[in-house]
Each structure stands twice: as structure tokens, then as C-alpha cells.
Structure 1
Amino acid sequence: MKSGSRVMYGITMFLFIMVIIYTPATIFVKDDAWIYGIEWAGVVALTLATLLALMLAVYLQFTERRSDILPEDWEEAEIADKAGILGFFSPSSIWPVAMSGAILVLGLGIIYMHYWLIVLGAALLVYTTVRLSMQYGLPREKH
């Protein structure tokens, strides 16, 4: 078992212990109506968080078993061993700024619940995302 799955199994055990402590602790606490009882929202949230952490731990264990040794599990590893391939970032691309503007239009549409603005912002966001993704794959425009 490698480090990622160990961390997630540790989080799972912590959350499981918290569910065991939290459930009986809420039974003996009076609420505003002076009624004893379990507090279901917290118990359900902690239980679902425990199951989610367990799901991630099992997934990491399965994937780490099939992968090579990772630099964080190797004692003699250098920082450069984890760096990998660095991406290419276009210094003169207009599309990240245009995408930010599209997200602004979409956000304003959601805030003020103007459906035409939501549709416009979503369409602009799809257009700018495609243009950003394909800026070097599409043929250049003739000037």
C-alpha cells in the first residue's frame, strides 16, 4: 500500500470514529424544544463523508497497485523526478481573458436570474473554451 491510499484510509478511520462518537453524543443533547433525539443531518453527513473517503481509498489502492513506484514512495527521489512534462502556455493568447469574460456574463445571469444572460454566457463559455483548446489545431485565419 502506498502513501495516497494510506492517507485516505486514515481519514476514513478518523471519520468513522467521529460517527461513533457523534451519534450517541447528539442523543443526549436537548434542542430548543427540550426534546432528546438524534441529530440526523450531522450523522448522515459524517456517514457519507466516511463512505466517500473509503471509496477514494479503495480506488487509490487499486490504481497504485497497478502503477510503478511513485517518487513520493521512493526515499532517494529528487524533486525533479515528480515534475513530469511541463505544459505549453501561449503568451499572446486572448482566449483566457475571453473565457473569464464569458464566466462573468454567465455568473451575472445566474445572480440576477436573467435566463437570456445565462444562455448567452453559457454559449460564450462553450465558444471560448473550444477556441482556447483548439487555437493551435484550427487553421489560421487569413488577414
Structure 2
Amino acid sequence: MKAEAWIFAACTIFLVLVTPAYWLVTDASDHGGDWTGTSALFMTTLLTAMVTLYLGFHARRMDPRPEDRKEAEIADGAGELGFFPPYSWWPLWCALTLSVMVFALAMAAWWLVIIGGVLGAVALSGLVFEYYRGEHAH
């Protein structure tokens, strides 16, 4: 994880330098610089700094991965990479019910929000409990 921490650290340093420069460049009016862009850059700086600290903290506490060691061989990275779920229709149904609810809120059709919420609860339950029943049960 050290490589990832260094990448985010470089992004943080870049944003620390760019944010005040952006503020100064957009200072065209008497009211100061562009508040929207400067705020967005400042928040992005904070987010990348947070990810940098998280990755750096965990990189120190965990054993180095094969990618982090200079003397590692390609074969050191062999083996199981993790669990990859099979196909699933439940994310589609969750997205459809959410889109129905958002559409209903935009049209102020509260009855459709309730129907979408009930169907969304069913779809979300199916997504959460997908591996407890059916073809992919564990």
C-alpha cells in the first residue's frame, strides 16, 4: 500500500499548491476569488490528505505485499485474489426502484414513492441475502 499512499501524497501536494494559485488567478473582482472552485479544490485537498493518511497508516501496520517489495518475484503474487461474486439481477432491481422513487419525488406523486419504497425494500433484501438462498447459497 505504500505505492498508493505515495500517489495520493503527490496528489495532495499538487492540490495544496494549486488551491491558493486558483484563488489568486480568479481574483478578478473586488469580492475576492471564486468561492465555488476554491471550496471544491480545498475539499478535494482534504479528501486526498485523508486517503493518504489512511493508506500510510495501514501500510506501516501490515506486512508488505509482493508489489511493495523490490526483491519480490512474479510468482509471489500468485494465488487466490479474493472473492468475486457471480452475476446478479438484484442491483438492476434496486436501481429501477430507486429511479422510480426519484421520478415520483420529482413529480410529487407520493403514492408512487410508497410503492417504490416497498419494492425497493424487497429488492434490497434480495441483494443483501443473495448468498443465503438459491443457486449461490453458501
1:39 maps to 2:34? yes
TM-score (norm 2): 0.73
Whether the 8 Å contact between 2:66 and 2:77 is mirrored in structure 1 is: no
The letter of the residue matching 2:25 is A
1:55 maps to 2:50? yes
The letter of the residue matching 1:5 is A
**What's the offset of the Cα at 1:20?**
2.4
Structure-1 residue corresponding to 2:74 = 77
Q: Could you say what the CA RMSD is over the residues aligned between the two structures, in angstroms?
A: 3.0
Of structures 1 and 2, the larger Rg is shown by: 1
The letter of the residue matching 2:114 is V
Structure 2: gaps of 5 or more residues: none
Whether the 8 Å contact between 1:71 and 1:82 is mirrored in structure 2 is: no
Partners of 1:17 and 1:43 lie apart in 2 by: 12
* Cα gap change, 1:80 to 1:71, in 2 (>3 Å): closer
* Cα gap change, 1:136 to 1:53, in 2 (>3 Å): closer
Structure 2 counterpart of 1:110, from 102, 105, 108: 105
Offset from partner CA, 1:96-116 (integer Å, 9 cap, x none): 554344234224323423222
1:87 maps to 2:72? no
Structure 1 counterpart of 2:60, from 58, 65, 79: 65
Whether the 8 Å contact between 1:5 and 1:61 is mirrored in structure 2 is: yes
Q: Provide the aligned length of Structure 1 versus Structure 2.
A: 132
TM-score (norm 1): 0.71
Identity of aligned pairs, percent? Answer: 27
- SS of residue in 2 equivalent to 1:87: coil
